[in-house]
Chains A and B, each alone.
Chain A
């Protein structure tokens, strides 16, 4: 425990005033811890890391850590990251988005970033709700769940973030819940060194806005729900459909080795300038 605390202190900003904005029981801090452990274990220098985030609770993550950090507009984090990566391909660009960020307002950007297969590591913190705005339904709010804008139950079907990204042609797509710290570390580390577009979806509880409206008495109940329903993808595929319904499949869904856009661009440019007169 003491060791972990020390590690965090190497990466937190000393000039930033605390306390942070996250509620007790929020999963975002767990994700940040996992990201720091992954970065640390891979010995990536702080200067080479750019963390780009959107708006909302997840958007407030980068301000606490001592990397190059950009807090962008709602849903557009991927576009800023695209600019940074193409302008300086040497940098490791990590994009942190919420589910509203990634799939509701920013759905178009996610689709195209995956299609371009540009070298970004994207973490989508999916809590099935708009947290900071006050508990409105998002495009990942499960069918029938309650929120402030679906007081009689969600009538729309939700997005499966990993599935959408896979279909758009991303290189690496994976999912974990914040209850699986080791799996999360493993997936984020893999994503950080993998070429092309990488997306790790992280299911994180939001008890303040989602849990209380959806019959989870305490924060602990939400974590128990994650623990109970997280199923490795191999096992998940063997389950009958009626049992799959409530389960969360975790693990790696896609792992390809296509070159990222920035790599293809550099090669094309070399051909033009080197081979051309």
Chain B
């Protein structure tokens, strides 16, 4: 036996997608979880309940409902914690009002939504991707939001870390969409050492309290956020507010405030837009997919290539803000685009909007609680 090269050993575990989310959250420095049990997201809460009490200030609490869960998470985040919750379809619907509250008060938090077949109680143990547009537009009013997705277990970990980083960096709630298949897949993953991981934490004020303006505009559009109880006494309100945080309805101040909310996301679009390109360089037909369907699509690309078809895959990790530039590039390059998804066409809608009649957009939808197989995708490609 030759001696093994001394490589930095990474911590390898065999984990569920939901467990990988927990690993990612702990890696990102999350130490507060409030949630309510709902299939198929429960393993996240269960694992958090086991792990968090061992952290120095870790808190796990099971609340009375999803509304309370997200309220508690917002409270904890205001007190300076990195906090998260996880839920699924019906619970996600209940959380909408507080998502809006977190948007307007610019409170960083991570919300994992494991998508199950709906509407209503639907099929609790079957996968779907029907909450995509709800994640973007579920709460009332105009607001920007970041929505991410993950397609395999390693990605669950990575995207959870990314979600926390984005939340802290841009002071916004971030929604991570998984589907039941990804959440309940068990795979070997490697957990990076904390010193190897890139972790971002929110900006703290450097000025004395009497100079501090809680919602001040600056180059980044993101103001510093001190935890409550540290001497920076400011007002947090869900009402439209001015730079001091006081309620206002003056058109000028309102416009300034809402435009800043959008600008802080828009101007860092290229940082937020995460996509994976698989064999896209010479592709003539591009599959645009996300979540577990992207895994089927990856095999479909391989099978199609074996048959001499020039097929590529654009895998979306960021769903919103929609990665328009990169999708546009593929649209211009390809003679057709295929969007397979487990709903009646929620991302294909975005693709068609971007496409604006430039090329052929094919859709492949499945809503019977079954995964879209590589064979189905391949058949659709060959049929054109």
Contact = CB atoms under 8 A, between A and B. Distances in A.
Nearest to B233: A68
Contacts of B231: 47
Interface residues of B, number: 44
Interface in B227-243: 227-231, 233-239
Interface stretch (A84-92, A136-144, A229-237): A84-92
A86 B72 contact: yes
B80 A67 contact: no
B228 A82 contact: no
A84 B75 contact: yes
User: Dominant SS at the B interface?
Assistant: mixed
A66 B233 CA distance: 7
Contacts of A76: 67-68, 71, 98
B134 to A, nearest CB: 19
B254 to A, nearest CB: 16
Contacts of A272: 53-54
Interface in B25-57: 32, 34, 53-54, 56
Contact of A69 (B79, B235, B239): B235
Contacts of B59: 86-87, 265
Interface string A54-80: 000000001100111111110010011
A273 interface: yes
A48 interface: yes
Contacts of A17: 246
Nearest to A109: B68
Contact of A84 (B58, B78, B239, B246): B78
Given A16-B246, A47-B229, A79-B71, A87 B79 contact: yes
Given A48-B229, A79-B68, A72 B101 contact: yes
Given A82-B68, A269-B58, A276-B54, 9 more contacts: A16-B244, A68-B228, A73-B97, A82-B34, A82-B71, A83-B74, A84-B76, A84-B79, A87-B81
15 contacts: A71-B236, A73-B71, A73-B97, A79-B67, A80-B71, A83-B77, A84-B79, A85-B75, A87-B83, A88-B80, A91-B229, A109-B68, A112-B64, A269-B53, A273-B54
Interface of A: 13, 15-17, 46-48, 50, 52, 62-63, 66-73, 76, 79-88, 90-91, 108-109, 111-112, 265, 268-269, 272-273, 276
Q: Which 8 pairs between the two chains have the least Cβ-Cβ distance?
A: A83-B75, A79-B71, A87-B79, A83-B72, A71-B237, A80-B75, A83-B76, A87-B76
